[in-house]
Structure 1
């Protein structure tokens, strides 16, 4: 009999997306379905999302306690061409009928009723797990994601028979912290209020609830699972996570290898594989440079092109990159292409660099899907010096495209990029470059080494590209690991 999985998340690509969680809530359920699990994806019914669903109809309504009020919540079922299974949504106009970012007001602050919004969503998930609408469908497993669904494992304590609960931490930095006043208004269970339960420094944390009450806790890479058990990365929860290490697992996210695949990428001017990687990357480098107004010569095409697609914030290491650009431009023939948006300071500084070094520093402020794909194919090196990165996706895209990544040794970057040391080169496993101190001088030293290797040893460079492109980052492997955890 197929394993029934209720997959509860606050966002899922292509319906609604703010970050990597949406990619997981798209890729993993589809991979689970391919492994014959019976999946229902549960999402809040955001205003901007509903027009993307087809064949929407009501499954029933529920009365759910909010913050000092009771909401009539409608459970709707719909379909979307991206998903081979039904999508369930929790409709409550007072809580989710808003345009824009699902968590933030247009003026940039968190919606003040986020605690109520996601408590109601979590209560709806628990009621559906109990088959409160008599749909004759009870999940064997409820898989919840990040703080927005952290209450679900606790709420399942009243469900009989109780399904197994799995809680995934995508980024521990977002804890879902709220006050005791709101806790009481939401009428959450009194026995959860303790240092062993939801209480956290006088308030409560929805993320902590998921960690404490879930049967299994996962995070998005093996290294990040270790890092969050340390004070440096634990955000005050490292002691709890160490105490719960018996149920903590790190499972590397996958990527959509149908979309991020140089063999069939619709955004490339020439598709390529391992067999013709040099020819394919050359054609896409030319197209990328032309997109930035260049008329590339053979000399420019032969020069190393370093790319970056990123939020322009300190966590992503953009400040380190900018400190390295000046000496590299002065003393090497490297060129740079950077796509991203973020802090105004960094955006302006990049504009200034592009103005000062036309043809050598090319900048696109914002995000452009087609341009991001072309960058992955057209660049020789991908820069991803994040100070912390729970999993990361771009380094895996880059490996798929034979664009060798330069990364800091953290989180999922450490789990996917194998440094080109003498030992790793000798055993033919190296696929990129790693630096080990989160400072610009360490990044710069690594980039000198990378550029020297590019200039002097193209045979070795091709071997590293071959190893990079052989790696398998499809969701199937991750899905099989989750299915093992879903079963007691």
Structure 2
């Protein structure tokens, strides 16, 4: 997984290449986030027992004194996986490839996207001990008790008739907080909405949200910390869940939110695009609200579409039920991983017979 284990496929295809014990051993290398590659000086290979000083692999464009561990994992693994189908496509492009897109394109026949799952037994609104009221699709009316509980927890006026927007996230540019910073004031100033945030991150975003909390005390609940109990209350009590990510390899928040009846508003990227389909009022299809361009007003427009749709409670309930009944369990993902493991063994067997290197 990621750069931390990337040296293992390198070992197996070089210093252990002739070891009979490992002749049939295949490797599946999983990329969670291509941005973190494990860049080190050449001494890291000496520490790892690999005698390659001065030898370069042109496929990964290493410099004479630089080692990119993730690139080596991609080069030497029998199969590469990442955590959503869309992200597997995105990292083949210069925009998302973090300078590794050339080798990923070279090995795209070995690249598979498998969406992460969530623990649906642990994350269950019918049994969650942190919720004020447990509920499921047959008792969705009880969910309003969680909304009122969350409003009180956030020191906002308890009111079931005001749309409540939630976010749980690291406060970083990757998660789209530069967009949030551009829309939060007009959103709170012009619309009758409430906003709850839970998360920590970059200091300038902490300062931004402290200012927002001071200016809109009755409309915001800002928690610059991490709190597992409050996170579950936000999932179970918010009407909408915001994830305007710049990129998102998989994303779990949108899946948990849907499981708990909170309708996601997301950017169409990575796993968000694979799990959230834009609501079409003409057909009634979709399970959330999406926007394509990384632009504050595209994000703003998606929020307003969600807020306006929320006013039609019968339509909104159908959206909630659609999200709550989707299968985001690990069962489906596990079956796909089993298929990939067999593919890795097939690739390894073919290389062993043919004597080819990656």
**TM-score, normalising length from structure 1?**
0.66
Alignment of 1:441-456 (within 5 A): 441-455=297-311
Give ranges in structure 2 of 5+ residues lacking alignment: 347-358
The alignment status of 1:154 with 2:10, answered yes or no, reads yes
Q: CA deviation at 1:180?
A: 2.3
Cα 1:414–1:440 change in 2 (3 A) is: same
Equivalent residue, structure 1, for 2:116: 253
Q: Cα 1:185–1:271, aligned 2, differ >3 Å: closer, same or farther? A: closer
Q: Are residues 1:481 and 2:343 paired?
A: no
Task: Note if contact 1:153-1:214 (Cα within 8 Å) is conserved in structure 2.
Answer: yes
Residues 259-274 of structure 1 correspond to what in structure 2 (within 5 A)? 259-274=122-137
**Does the Cα contact within 8 Å between 1:193 and 1:199 map onto a contact in 2?**
no
1:389 pairs with 2:248: yes
Contact 2:156 2:221 survives alignment (8 Å): no
Alpha-carbon displacement from aligned partner over 1:279-310 (angstroms, at most 9, x marks no partner): 232111111112123452xxx22110000001
Looking at structure 2, the residues matched to 322 and 198 of structure 1 have their Cα atoms a distance apart, in angstroms, of 37
Taking the aligned partners of 2:54 and 2:287, their CA distance within structure 1 comes to: 47
Q: Are 2:216 and 1:361 aligned?
A: no
CA apart distance, 1:199:
5.5
The residue number in structure 2 matching 1:171 is 33
Instruction: Please point out which of 49, 56, 80 is paired with 1:217.
Output: 80
Q: For residue 288 of structure 1, what is the aligned residue in structure 2?
A: 150
Q: Distance in 2 between matches of 1:199 and 1:149?
A: 20
Match of 1:201 among 52, 63, 72: 63
Aligned to 1:75: none
Distance 2:147 2:34 in 1: 37
Q: Which residue of 1 aligns with 2:267?
A: 408
> 183-192 or 464-473: which moved more?
183-192
- The within-5 A match list for 1:28-43 is none
8 Å contact kept, 2:60–2:103: no
Alpha-carbon deviation of 1:327? 1.4
* Deviation string, structure 1 residues 55-87 (Cα, Å, up to 9, x no partner): xxxxxxxxxxxxxxxxxxxxxxxxxxxxxxxxx
The 1:198–1:332 alpha-carbon spacing in structure 2 relative to 1, beyond 3 Å, is closer
Residue from 298, 313, 329 that aligns with 1:458: 313
Between the aligned partners of 1:284 and 1:224, the Cα distance in structure 2 is: 34
Tell me the TM-score normalised to structure 2 length. 0.90
1:344 aligns with 2:203: yes
Q: How far did residue 369 of structure 1 move?
A: 0.3
Runs of 5+ unmatched residues, structure 1: 1-144
| Secondary structure in structure 1 of the residue aligned to 2:339 | helix
What is the CA distance between 1:182 and its match in structure 2?
Answer: 3.7
Residue 324 of structure 1 deviates from its aligned partner by: 1.4
Partner SS for 2:81: strand
State the distance in 1 between where 2:325 and 2:47 align.
54
Report the Cα offset of residue 196 of structure 1. 4.2
CA contact (8 A) 1:198 1:204 kept: no
User: 1:389, 1:411 within 8 Å by CA — same for their partners in 2?
Assistant: yes
Q: Is the 8 A contact 1:153 1:165 kept in 2?
A: yes
Q: Give the aligned partner of residue 55 of structure 1.
A: none
Distance (Å, rounded) in 2 between the aligned partners of 1:436 and 1:222: 17
Cα distance, 1:241 vs structure 2: 0.3
Range that drifts further, 158-167 or 229-238: 158-167
**Partner SS state of residue 231, structure 1:** coil
Q: Within 2, Cα distance between the matches of 1:198 and 1:411?
A: 24
Q: Which structure 2 residues correspond to residues 27-106 of structure 1 after superposition, within 5 A? A: none
Q: Secondary structure at the match of 2:134?
A: coil
Q: Contact 2:241/2:263 (CA < 8 Å) preserved in 1?
A: yes
Question: More relative contact order in 1 or in 2 (CA 8 Å, sep 6+)?
Answer: 2
RMSD: 1.7
1:136-157 residue CA offsets vs partner (Å, 9 max, x unmatched): xxxxxxxxx1100001112123
SS, match of residue 167 in structure 2:
strand
Q: How does 1:461-472 map to 2 (within 5 A)?
A: 461-472=316-327
SS in 1 for 2:241: strand
Match of 2:355 in 1: none
- 2:289 pairs with 1:436: no
**1:322, CA displacement in angstroms?**
2.6
1:187 deviates by 3.7
Contact between 2:45 and 2:52, CA under 8 Å: does it hold in 1?
no
Distance 2:107 2:198 in 1: 40
